């Protein structure tokens, strides 16, 4: 059985939501970052970065939320959280799956710290560009791949919910509101929210 290492009120939310979407049993292992549990030698053996979430599946261990999403979506293909190999939508699925950690999170750091990074050297371009691109993609809806919900929506939805609603770091837009509402209406999202609240 998969073990998910998580902590309340953290980036673990995406992994909790993911596991709830699979409908498969899994074990939650509380790794309370407020007490430093993520810095123990035992936990660092699973994730040397000392962050949550992380996952153990028998002899396999991995960290990083987007990697966990990719792994679990392939581990449980019956959950239909990823386009199959050979499906042309898989290319955009992978692009959007990694858009959250490679573009949304750096853009939020840029906004929070007010650091001026030249768009020519910032891998994410600029915070404005990130949210403009996301706005245009989500306006087509209902999900990031169109009609099919996927693990990419878990990453994008978690990032937007965090940025727009929870911490109000990014001004809301009509496409964002509609998308976050659709995400929040999913029963798996609601179960994950209850778990993440601690």
Question: Tell me: the pLDDT tens digits for 95-119?
Answer: 999 999 999 999 999 989 988 887 7
Helices marked H in the chain — which ranges?
Answer: 12-22, 41-46, 65-75, 89-97, 99, 105-113, 127-140, 151-160, 174-184, 187-196
Contact 51, 39 (CB under 8 A): no
pLDDT computed for residue 118 by the predictor: 79
Structural domains in the chain, sorted by start: 3-80 (3.40.30.10), 89-189 (1.20.1050.10)
* pLDDT of 121 strictly over 90: no
d(CA 167, CA 45): 32
Contact 81, 90 (CB under 8 A): no
pLDDT computed for residue 106 by the predictor: 92
pTM reported for the whole predicted model: 0.94
Order the strands of the 54-57 sheet from edge to edge.
27-30, 3-6, 54-57, 60-63
Question: Tell me: the pLDDT tens digits for 143-172?
Answer: 999 999 999 999 999 999 999 998 899 999
User: Kindly report the CA angle at 137 between 107 and 96, in degrees rounded to 5?
Assistant: 60
């Amino acid at each position: 059985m998969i073990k998910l290492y998580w902590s309340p009120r953290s980036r673990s939310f995406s992994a909790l939501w993911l596991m709830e979407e699979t409908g498969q049993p899994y074990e939650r292992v509380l790794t309370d970052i407020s007490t430093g549990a993520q810095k123990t030698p035992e936990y660092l053996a699973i994730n040397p970065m000392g962050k949550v979430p992380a996952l153990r599946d028998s002899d396999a261990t991995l960290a990083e939320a987007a990697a966990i999403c990719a792994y679990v979506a392939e581990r449980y293909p019956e959950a239909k959280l990823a386009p199959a190999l050979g499906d042309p939508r898989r290319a955009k699925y992978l692009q959007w799956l990694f858009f959250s950690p490679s573009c949304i999170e750096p853009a939020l750091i840029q906004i929070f710290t007010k650091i001026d990074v030249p768009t020519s050297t910032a891998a994410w371009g600029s915070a404005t560009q990130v949210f403009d691109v996301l706005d245009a993609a989500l306006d087509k809806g209902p999900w990031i791949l169109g009609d099919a919900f996927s693990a990419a929506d878990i990453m994008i939805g978690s990032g937007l919910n965090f940025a727009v609603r929870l911490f109000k770091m990014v001004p809301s837009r009509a496409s964002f509101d509609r998308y976050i509402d659709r995400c929040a209406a999913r029963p798996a999202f609601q179960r994950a929210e209850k778990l993440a609240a601690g």
